[in-house]
Structure 1
């Protein structure tokens, strides 16, 4: 059977290019990069381009998930809501083509936005600081693209799973709130219920594994390993974890003898990001295949 994923993706990306959404997203990320570099250049002395690159980590982890969720949450359900899904499926594309074509098209939107933001950072690094940390720039840019795609995958998966715009919006807002506002309550709170105390600096290994399944944590841990300085995760704190704990990686908090197990190493963050990309899309695909349209 011939796949029409590319056809759906090209149409989806073209539609996004004619909307304000893509340009708002691009503009926001470019402004973050531009204003940040100029502000640091104007206020901080004796700073290298490699050090400034890490500055992007904080605003990107805040803005990019929101932008990616907004880009993807109407991808499939929007077609169902307007009734155009029946017309689309009456043409050569089938349901698989729709889900994965939409995923590819919305992914392209986020990739373009991130690429332009990092291009601005590259130009400003050379112009203002005289150096270009090319290896760090490429690695950090690739991680940021994967981070953005991860949240696109979540949103498209949700969009394919439900039949109304309201449900899709509520679920993606809930996802963001869990990762940013409720994660400590869910993880450290569970630890407290089991042991009558919050997680110490060296907690049980199962807790470290569970805690790093937050994709924002995975991104900041990975990013901190490829740029100069540390990038700390943006998360609401309720006092169940110490400030010092947030400044350490899972491997550094491991209490066992010898090296930390593989699932606490920094590279495991890549597995976490891929997990949050693949699983929601697979669930959405499964539900969409069985939905009555």
Structure 2
């Protein structure tokens, strides 16, 4: 059967369970609603990019950062753990599939689901923008769409890794919830507490050191923003981060961080899955 076959089966199962249709409708409504807002904060209205395009980027920025991870984690937390609890995992492994085929095939299948949902949803939003905006940069919006797909894949990988490495669906669910809370809610709080512990209330005159700024960049959601700035320079108008002199604080580093958050959880999940008894 193999990895590609597992991925195709998982994708088709999502179609039959209406997961794909539901997610696609959700993204279409979400993106279309944001496309209709057309608001640019006054501070950004002199930006080089047309204000219509900037309005859409601004509207989609924070909701995308919070919604895409939530959907990716919910979509994939039971990818392997659900199969284990239902008993179908033994059947899946009884076919000519290795455990690696199952873990990475599930990741491919669930990534396909979130990718189609984002692509269709953003295509609808882009169509609304083309029809209703005075000017609209399709190239910029297309680049943002592809980076959003990558961002979604990162959280699918995180959830799939947890799903493969945990002994039960509930533990995988709790793990996915903990990751969401850490990256979207707790990371900045922990950085602030670390800043207080190291420097107190006063930030050094020279600014925070590069190693401290790197800790902020290691959050996948922050890395997504840096990756967007790397391929859409105008995106820097909407997201301001402390700058440092180290090479690892450049915006392209966002892609490296996203790649690591994709590969490491999948590898961890696979290695844990290899040692788990599925009988």
Are residues 228 and 220 of structure 1, via their aligned partners in 2, closer, same or farther at CA, if it must alter by over 3 Å? same
Are residues 48 and 193 of structure 1, via their aligned partners in 2, closer, same or farther at CA, if it must alter by over 3 Å? closer
Aligned counterpart, 1:206: 211
Aligned counterpart, 1:264: 249
The farther-off stretch of 60-69 and 193-202 is 193-202
Question: Structure 2 CA distance, aligned partners of 1:199 and 1:112?
Answer: 44
Task: Specify the SS of the correspondent of 1:187.
Answer: helix
Question: Structure 2 CA distance, aligned partners of 1:100 and 1:207?
Answer: 33
| Contact 1:53-1:227 at 8 Å conserved across structures | no
Q: Could you tell me the TM-score, scaled by structure 1's length?
A: 0.85
Structure 1 gaps, min length 5: 42-46, 233-246, 255-259
Aligned counterpart, 1:241: none
Match of 2:19 among 14, 18, 21: 21
Task: Specify the SS of the correspondent of 2:178.
Answer: helix
Per-residue Cα deviation, 1:176-235 (whole angstroms, up to 9, x for no partner): 101122112322212321233365582022100111111111112332451645586xxx
- 1:34-45 equivalences under 5 Å are 34-40=32-38
Question: Structure 2 CA distance, aligned partners of 1:198 and 1:170?
Answer: 37
Question: Structure 1 CA distance, aligned partners of 2:240 and 2:87?
Answer: 50
Task: Specify the SS of the correspondent of 2:69.
Answer: helix
Match of 1:86 among 84, 87, 90: 90
State the Cα distance separating 1:117 from its structure 2 match.
1.5
Question: Structure 2 CA distance, aligned partners of 1:149 and 1:11?
Answer: 18
Task: Specify the SS of the correspondent of 2:36.
Answer: helix
| Number of residue pairs the alignment of both structures matches | 267
Are residues 184 and 38 of structure 1, via their aligned partners in 2, closer, same or farther at CA, if it must alter by over 3 Å? closer
The structure in which a higher percent of residues are helix is 2
Question: Structure 1 CA distance, aligned partners of 2:101 and 2:202?
Answer: 47
Aligned counterpart, 1:44: none
Aligned counterpart, 1:236: none
- 1:264-283 equivalences under 5 Å are 264-283=249-268
Per-residue Cα deviation, 1:86-105 (whole angstroms, up to 9, x for no partner): 11111111211101110100
